[in-house]
Amino acid sequence: MKMKYEAQIKAGRDLVWATFDNPDNISRWQPTLKSLVHQAGDPRQPDSVSELIYDENGRKVVMTETVTERREPQFLAGIYDNARATMLIVNHFEEIDQSTTRFVSYTNMKFKGIMKIMSLFVAKSIRTRVQANLDRFKLLAETEAAGQDQ
């Protein structure tokens, strides 16, 4: 399943990148994230590995993140793997002007086992949840930008 999400954020790209790249912010825009534990490599750099644990409606979802490429402040890509799916996620940050950034997130999700069939039934809820996360990130980055303007 391929997905593309996009948000135009009223904040400069450097601030958007800093907000996105700060691991302390992740749970602020991904509220189901309960823990992020770095396991290997330099954090958030290519070949680094982290374990993310989510609480999805009472169900514990453990995911391994491997950063595959990073071009600061334009691009971060990684592979996210768990028992049900493997995802390639590419986050791209395009500077529109000094105070506006387009954040585009591309996801290619390959389901495993029975989830290949179940994906037909859960695709809409996945899309809705990811869009809600992106909307929360947009609000967080714009709030951070507003705080800097004061």
pLDDT digits (tens, 9 = 90+) for 83-125: 999 999 999 999 999 999 999 999 999 989 888 777 778 888 8
Strands 100-111 and 85-97: what pairing? antiparallel
What whole-number distance in Å separates Cα of residue 71 and Cα of residue 13? Answer: 13
Mean pLDDT (whole number) for 1-22: 95
What whole-number distance in Å separates Cα of residue 106 and Cα of residue 108? Answer: 7
Percent of the chain with pLDDT over 70: 99
126-149 pLDDT, tens digit per residue, is 899 899 999 999 999 999 888 875
Residue with tokens 């907000």: 19
- Domains along the chain with CATH numbers: 2-149 (3.30.530.20)
Residue with tokens 């029975």: 114
Looking at residue 149, what is its pLDDT? 58
> Which residues, at least 6 apart from 13, have a Cβ–Cβ distance to it below 8 Å?
73, 74, 93, 94, 95, 101
